[in-house]
Amino acid sequence: MFHRFAMAIALLAALPAKADTPQQLLDRYAAQARTEVAAYPGPSASAGNRFFHARHSDWSCASCHTADPSTPGKHVVTGKPIAPLAPTANAQRFRDPARVEKWFKRNCSDTLRRTCTSAEKADVLAYLLSAKGGA
Amino acid sequence: MIHTLHSSVITIAIRALGATLAIATTAAQAAAPTPASASTYQEECGSCHTAYPARFLKPADWTTVLGTLDRHYGADATLDATAAGEVARHLGVGSPPANVPAATALPRITRSGWFVHEHDEISAATFKSSAVRSAANCSACHTGADRGDFDEHSIRMPQGTRHE
């Protein structure tokens, strides 16, 4: 039991350090998608654009992050201000993989009533990286 | 394949850590908030709504809220074990029960007697106005809400709304 736990800690320590660039996160989601989808065509900013603005339920991503993700958003229910989502406008975004996963989990659950696929995450990130900064 | 192995081992490690923390949290029930717990509370809860002060709900009600984060007023607000422990600590409660019955009504700050009394001169139209939207949007009027300051002197009613 202890041996197993020690091994887990050793493996954790061996993982690459966090604080990545958004492009590295995008590459990792795309690499993951390649293992999940046969003939994965690669990330697409235009598919991400459609996904971001589509109403998946009562909500779309844009419901809170607004139609222009390089501008500040507002929580559609509580009115709480949300900092711009696009990394081109907000250097804090998409740097910490665990944080990014946490928000994809919560927000996909709320908006799509399911988890998002790696391909969808890669597409959205490709779209956000193409969004004009400081608009 | 290696990635999958990593994931499952990490899951085991996180669960083990989570269980340890859960035990520690129960033992240290109602431990005092720390700067770390305040920061976690602000990040995990205050990203979507005002980081409501602990005094706004009774401890038993906070426990219900923390035990139902998968159905958090229409949103998924689930936390990992570490964050859940910090949030519970910040709110001055112990670990939430593992399974809160699905039919359990969620507590509402806005239906608390003190809240209704304090806001009895604010019209429903003001709460629904575009500047406010929701009674959960404290900072629309309470300019110090994000710092836990709800002093009457810090109130600034948005344009077009009235304090009757």
* Number of structural domains in chain B: 2
| Residues B85, B113 share a domain | no
Type and span of the H or E element at B135: none
Q: Which of A22, A27, A61, A24 is nearest to A42 (CA)?
A: A27
What confidence tens digit (pLDDT) does each residue in A74-97 have? 999 988 899 999 999 999 999 999
Report, as an integer, the average pLDDT of A42-55: 97
| Residues B10, B74 share a domain | yes
Q: Which residues of B82-109 are buried (b: 16+ CB within 10 A; e: fewer)?
A: ebbbbbbbbbbbbbbeeebeeeeeebeb
Tell me the shortest Cα–Cα distance from A100 to chain B, in angstroms: 13
- pLDDT, chain A, mean: 88
ipTM given for this complex: 0.74
Is B39 part of any domain?
yes
A&B contacts, CB < 8 Å:
59
**Higher pLDDT, residue B74 or A19:** B74
Cβ–Cβ contact A7 with B under 8 A: yes
Q: How many residues does chain B have?
A: 164
Residue B22's domain spans which residues?
2-90
* Average pLDDT, 10 consecutive residues per value, chain B (164 residues): 53 52 48 91 94 94 94 91 94 82 90 95 92 89 92 91 65
| Residues B120, B53 share a domain | no
Residue A64 · residue A75 · CB < 8 Å: yes
| Residues B66, B29 share a domain | yes
Query: B76: Cβ–Cβ under 8 A, 6 or more apart, which residues?
Result: A105, A106, A109, A110, B69, B70
Q: Which of B75, B96, B90, B76 is nearest to B22 (CA)?
A: B96
**Across the interface, which of A8, A80, A106 has its CB nearest the CB of B76?**
A106
Cβ–Cβ contact A50 with B under 8 A: no
Asked if the model's pLDDT at residue A16 lies above 50, the reply is no
Type and span of the H or E element at A73: strand A73-74
Residue A43 · residue A123 · CB < 8 Å: yes
Rg value, chain B, Cα: 19
For an interface test with B, give the residue of A106, A111, A115 to mutate (most B CBs within 10 A): A106
Domains of chain A in sequence order: 21-130 (1.10.760.10)
**Across the interface, which of A11, A32, A105 has its CB nearest the CB of B9?**
A11
